[in-house]
A and B are shown apart, each in its own frame.
Chain A
Amino acid sequence: MADRFESIDQVRDGLKRVSYLADEGIAGVVFLADRLGKPVLIEGPAGTGKTQLAKSVAESTGSRLIRLQCYEGLDESKALYEWNYKKQLLRIQADKNSDAWSDVHDDIFSDEFLLTRPLLEAITADDPVVLLIDEVDRVEVETEALLLEILSEYQVSIPELGTIVAKQIPLVFLTSNNTRELSEALKRRCLYLHVDYPDMEREKEIVITKVPGVTDNLADQIARIVRSIRQLDLKKAPSVSETIDWARTLVLLGIEHIDAQQARDTLHILLKYQSDIAKAAKELSVDK
């Protein structure tokens, strides 16, 4: 397999080109995933750019992104492959008389009648791909087992066809919101990356890259206020995407310098619970 990246710095620069600011840990793990040929399991609070990381890696390496959105009740036929029933039926009926049974039998279980689903598609692709398995914690524990073969061996076994082995090893990202403990078997096969809220400096840079028209001064203020808010004991701390939304709002409103009143008026973009908003407003305007 050809290595996609030369060094950790190259990963970081590549991601920066597509305006994703990776810190040391993120870049390092992506680099390792490429070198070791292992999937990456990304965990972290909602809205810290877990899914975005996979998208950005795909974009920066010029690969196609194949996405499998997980949900409860996901099964083999939606994740891996399915036989095209109708087509098989048609094939049998089309020439009832001419073919011997054995011919038909072999024939209807061939590539032609196979419907590929995201996982199989990622394996059989000729071009470089990035496979994103989103919110893997939503599937049941039993369904997780479906993923194990593909994650460790990069192959899919189809009883009627045999084993299909990957032509090239795709970069695989799994994201999880941590609503349940993933099985040991799955964790063992992956590199683990925890994406947390960025520190102030990085958040400021993110705001500057993502929001056109924001001044350095304003970005700095935004990052500081968000950090202060995150230190409070809230139901849901503001995520990076909410910070960006807030920054956009402030730019749209033409605010150059945030004062307490403006901060309070726009808090509902950062925080989504009434009790949180009340608390933050109280904290931010309190006289010491």
Chain B
Amino acid sequence: MLDLLAGFVSELRNAGLPVSLTENLDAMEAVQHIPIEDREAFKYALGATLVKNNAHWRAFETVFEVYFSLRGPEYRIVEGETDVDEMWREMQEQMRQGDGRGADGGGLDGLTPEELAQLLLQALMNGDQAMMRALARQAVQRFAGMEPGRPVGGTYYLYRTLRNLDLESMLEKLMEASRVAAGELTPLEERLEHDEYNDRIEQFKKEIEAEIRRRLVADRGAEAMAKTLRKPLPEDVEFMHASRDEMVNLKKALQPLTRKLAARLARKRRHGRKGSLDFRSTVRHSLSYGGVPAEPKFKYPRPAKPELMVVADISGSVAAFARFTLMLVYAMQGQFSKVRSFVFIDGIDEVTDYFKGEEDITQAIHRVNTEADVVWVDGHSDYGHAFEVFWERYGKGIGPKTTVLLLGDARNNYHASQAWVVKEMRQRARHVYWLNPEPRSYWNTGDSIVGDYGTHTDGVYECRNLRQLEAFVDKLA
């Protein structure tokens, strides 16, 4: 058991969770107080002692599933090392015995696919958990085509299983059935039913995933499996390579982050350095000391809120990054005295108005992507031309209080760089920063000319993930 926990903790660390020694010891102590057959309690005991950040909970859950999936209620917890071969055999045995445990006897093996689909429909409609679990097992066994030792990822099996089940049409059928059962449905009821079934289908998908994972672990062992499943934490996901799921998670992580940043900045402002000497007030107060300025008075500190100009490249490769930065900046608008934003590909357009009076930032971003006039010739990034036009049209707006943020990978498709614009900007503005979503090692390779621009800015920052973006914004205000 101790070995197992040690392996578990080291895998958590590998996945990027900061687990300290004391937390490890706490976990060891905690599990002693928990009835070991109770899998849920066991999981929460480990979670409460090892995971101290909600964003990390998913990563924890994945690792937990991998390490303890074979030790669920139906499998006894085995002390000492786990014999993989034996487990695989045990599993095969179970499959042969039929998997319908707790559900309809055990006769699922002999069903035709149509009957299986019918059963699934029934189970989904009634929300029958036990039946759904049994069906998930059956589906995986039947459709996934898993063989021990086959070097393919879990997603492949998942895809195969889902393709055969055709859950999309299942949803339609379910809606149809409830429409028939209830007679006419109002739009509200329709919507609720839809959500309900969607929820159940999601649950079913999760069951399938868990089942596949369970079998893979039995096949390959926990360590190997954990490695393939390892996913970066939301704050470490790279903007440029995020999948759709990761994007959704990123968006979720962004909201609390902006709140946190705004609170931190407001606090910093209030408790910042003391103001400068208030000469008038000091002299006024010196009267009570007979003209001796015994008590110096200071001005109330009012640090200036920076004015912000965001100039973002929104061409395909860096669009996600620009979107996130714009979202972040606008979510904390209150921390800046004025925010103006411009987007470009090879032409440039001001998009400040899209954000005005729009409470929903996502909506505004959508408008930016669809309505802004950013294509000049061919729709390939041309930083030089965009900057030149920017300088001509909006350059006058830059004043000594303005901070200019340039976002992009500076991949200029071998056009002229026009770096002099950045140089001019810097002379007029308070600061000019460049944020680059590419890893530092890629800079100035190929058609990237971030170095040309970078020399004229106050700093070029690598912003590949939320963590780096957060650090930068914190510094900015």
Contacts and interface: CB of A to CB of B under 8 A. Distances in A.
B188 A260 contact: yes
A275 B44 contact: no
Interface string B1-43: 0000000000000000010101100100110011100101100
B48 interface: yes
A64 interface: no
Contact of A72 (B51, B194, B196, B267): B267
Given A25-B47, A193-B48, A179 B260 contact: yes
Interface in B157-202: 186-188, 190-192, 194-196, 199
B259 A179 contact: yes
Given A179-B263, A224-B196, A260 B48 contact: no
Interface stretch (A28-36, A116-124, A246-254): A28-36
B141 interface: no
A24 to B, nearest CB: 5
B256 interface: yes
A171 to B, nearest CB: 14
Interface string A257-288: 01110010000000001110001000111111
B33 A274 contact: no
A134 B264 CA distance: 19
A263 to B, nearest CB: 6
Contacts of B45: 28, 32
Interface string B231-266: 000000000000000000000000010011001100
B19 to A, nearest CB: 10
A38 interface: yes
B83 interface: no
A28 B199 CA distance: 26
B57 interface: yes
B260 A227 contact: no
B360 to A, nearest CB: 6
A91 interface: no
Contacts of A225: 188, 192
B195 to A, nearest CB: 5
Contacts, number: 113
A135 interface: no
Given A25-B47, A188-B23, A8 B260 contact: no
Interface residues of B, number: 43
Contacts of A224: 192, 195-196
Interface string A154-191: 00000000000000000000000011110010011011
A192 interface: yes
A185 B452 CA distance: 44
- Size category of the A interface is 35 or more
A98 interface: no
B359 A273 contact: yes
A285 B48 contact: no
Given A72-B267, A233-B362, A287 B48 contact: no
Nearest to B195: A228
A194 interface: yes
A35 B33 contact: yes
Given A36-B26, A36-B33, A228 B360 contact: no
A235 B359 contact: yes
Given A29-B48, A178-B256, A192-B52, A286 B191 contact: yes
30 contacts: A8-B38, A25-B44, A28-B40, A28-B45, A28-B48, A29-B44, A31-B33, A32-B45, A35-B30, A36-B26, A36-B30, A40-B48, A41-B52, A72-B267, A140-B267, A140-B271, A178-B260, A179-B263, A180-B264, A191-B48, A192-B47, A192-B49, A192-B51, A221-B192, A224-B195, A224-B196, A259-B186, A263-B188, A284-B187, A284-B191
Interface of B: 18, 20, 22-23, 26, 29-30, 33-35, 38, 40-41, 44-45, 47-49, 51-54, 57, 186-188, 190-192, 194-196, 199, 256, 259-260, 263-264, 267, 271, 359-360, 362
